[in-house]
Structure 1
């Protein structure tokens, strides 16, 4: 069983996803070495070939490993924590492919669903990734596993997309001798986000041959699921083509009826059309049955994603604390975070403080506190809110605001 009863029960708890996604308001887990909260989830594409996710919720450490018949033991392909992470393991297209293949093998793992929600943290996005084809699937996966908005862009989806978005950061994918792509970031000096991946060209730590086999077996699983000759009849192709439109969801019932008369169609695909948990689930089923490019129907069915035109600005805020208690700066930043979050404008997080020797004794004292600030979509409104809170705390005259990206230009505080 890929998700055992203990993990399934834990995922249903309201605090699990806040902790797993490193959300700012996640409760601090009570860590007890004798009763560590750790789980394991397996996602098999073929016998002995798949991915294993180890979750240590208490410490916030999550490890993804690849299993293959030729490997003596699972090999780590990525990990994520809040310290020395290397989460950039796979492309979105690879995760989508693997999740479809696993859903065909294990009916309990519907797609989009738990696998996508759990493993999306190991994706790296680049210029080839289209938000229109991606965000509806992520929204649907999160709706299945976590209570929240029933429509529209999920906050978790936006957080994830921005965190894994390395478009414009100079990623370069090159083919290895095993037919598997490797990724690198040649120019580190001119990028806003760094790549952290074991999948570098020439890396001895990444199992390129086994990863290529994993993807190949996933592709073959989809081919086998649609190999029935009856899927090629004129009547069936006509039924499929009617579903391949903007209003295709209205034609799912006739397609499902036609599939009932076919000599054999994979039951998971039939269920996705007759009893879909979400419209996104029926989309991937139609794409698979009709041989459409993955994500093409999702893109057409849902239209432009809010992430397609979304903007965000990463800022660094420095607050002088030399003549006032450092606790006041922490309270200010906490208040700023709450205000930004309430207005849907972003977030703020304290990152540290600077100390210097002052006075005749030369004792160390805090002279400033710093925070990372994220403003989304409306920079002037976000700056206005920052200004209001700084002035409320009588800190605007000594505060400094800069862009986080080079050349780290100063930002005037209104």
Structure 2
């Protein structure tokens, strides 16, 4: 069982996800309680002795992904994520989706989309081939399963994850290294690219277990292929029902496919459950893709249409607040007010990134300024207007400096 009772109990707690996703309103850990000695681990086995091992140190905000394989004396690190020295860029979206499908077929507890995507998506790196139309519905469904909410539409977790892992336009290049295995590197990074690549899976890496990783993916592909080998799946009634399900309105024909599969007693039980008793429409969708032999994500795009992320834009800004001769908590109060205002408007967030101080002749330090990272989504002019309102509310408009967060770091006039 990959998710033991202790981890399952934590997955049901809102504060776990707030901490795991590095949300700014995550509760401070109670280091005086019993949780400070708690160690959580999930092992995702695809068979053949191959497994992903996720270690979760929630209190310290450190999450490590490793790979266990018969030829490895101990699990080999694939990547890790924290808020300091992270190396989270382990796999492509298509690889995670493949693994999640195979794991769902191996273990009914791991419904897809569900815990595998919600837990392991932080180790994905997105680049040009990754289509938000094919990705968004699955990630939305995964977070909706793990963090139930009455709200429909784009999940904030999905958008936050996508923005953080989106390296499209940053010079990312996937190529086979000298060992013949796929690796990633960042070439000719544009000045405007907001993020760097942090990965062990580079062509010259001696640390990434390339051979074992390739075996893991190959095993996952075989699991999916084996799930559709029953000759009864070629029954004309099943093929006709599948054909209807693979159209844009295919979701309305799933019941007839279920009936045909039950009559022929042909489908893998996990695939049949995904069609007959889905926890989300996305679960039925990937099951139809597998049964019809469609490329990953191709039917998702037909069933769900354009993703809100496809047309979404975001701007990373840097706000410098003068702190000299100000109350000690002035910058934090202002930043908190700005963050709350942007979040309530659905426009973004703000958080303190660092502070500058000047050393006096007597050796003491005087705070000079605080740097605040600001994210504005979709409507820059409205976001700038709110920033202006908050700065004026705290009497900081005349001394604050606002710039774009990437080169050439142009100054932005405060309205």
Residue 2 of structure 1 corresponds to 2
Tell me how far apart the structure 1 counterparts of residues 261 and 354 of structure 2 sit (CA, whole Å): 60
Deviation at 1:187, TM superposition (A): 2.7
Residue 221 of structure 1 corresponds to 223
**Number of residue pairs matched by the alignment:** 413
Change (3 A) 1:33 1:180: farther
Deviation at 1:294, TM superposition (A): 0.7
Tell me how far apart the structure 2 counterparts of residues 59 and 158 of structure 1 sit (CA, whole Å): 24
Tell me how far apart the structure 2 counterparts of residues 346 and 317 of structure 1 sit (CA, whole Å): 14
User: CA deviation digits over 1:200-239, x for unaligned, max 9?
Assistant: 0021100001111111111111111001122123322111
Tell me how far apart the structure 1 counterparts of residues 388 and 152 of structure 2 sit (CA, whole Å): 33
From 297, 300, 311, give the equivalent of 1:298.
Answer: 300
Write out aligned runs for 1:89-128 (5 A). Answer: 89-128=90-129
**RMSD of aligned alpha carbons:** 1.5
Deviation at 1:186, TM superposition (A): 2.2
Residue 284 of structure 1 corresponds to 286
Residue 266 of structure 1 corresponds to 268
Tell me how far apart the structure 1 counterparts of residues 168 and 141 of structure 2 sit (CA, whole Å): 23
User: CA deviation digits over 1:253-273, x for unaligned, max 9?
Assistant: 111111113353211011111
Residue 61 of structure 1 corresponds to 62
TM-score w.r.t. length of structure 2: 0.96
Unaligned runs of 5+ in 2: none
Deviation at 1:178, TM superposition (A): 4.9
Tell me how far apart the structure 1 counterparts of residues 59 and 355 of structure 2 sit (CA, whole Å): 27
Tell me how far apart the structure 2 counterparts of residues 215 and 164 of structure 1 sit (CA, whole Å): 21
SS in 2 for 1:128: coil
Q: More displaced, 276-285 or 259-268?
A: 259-268
Superposition misfits of 4+ residues, deviation over 6 angstroms: none
Write out aligned runs for 1:349-364 (5 A). Answer: 349-357=351-359, 363-364=364-365
Contact 2:141 2:282 in 1 (8 A): yes
Q: More displaced, 130-139 or 179-188?
A: 179-188
Tell me how far apart the structure 2 counterparts of residues 32 and 212 of structure 1 sit (CA, whole Å): 43
Residue 238 of structure 1 corresponds to 240
Change (3 A) 1:389 1:266: same
TM-score w.r.t. length of structure 1: 0.97
Deviation at 1:37, TM superposition (A): 2.4
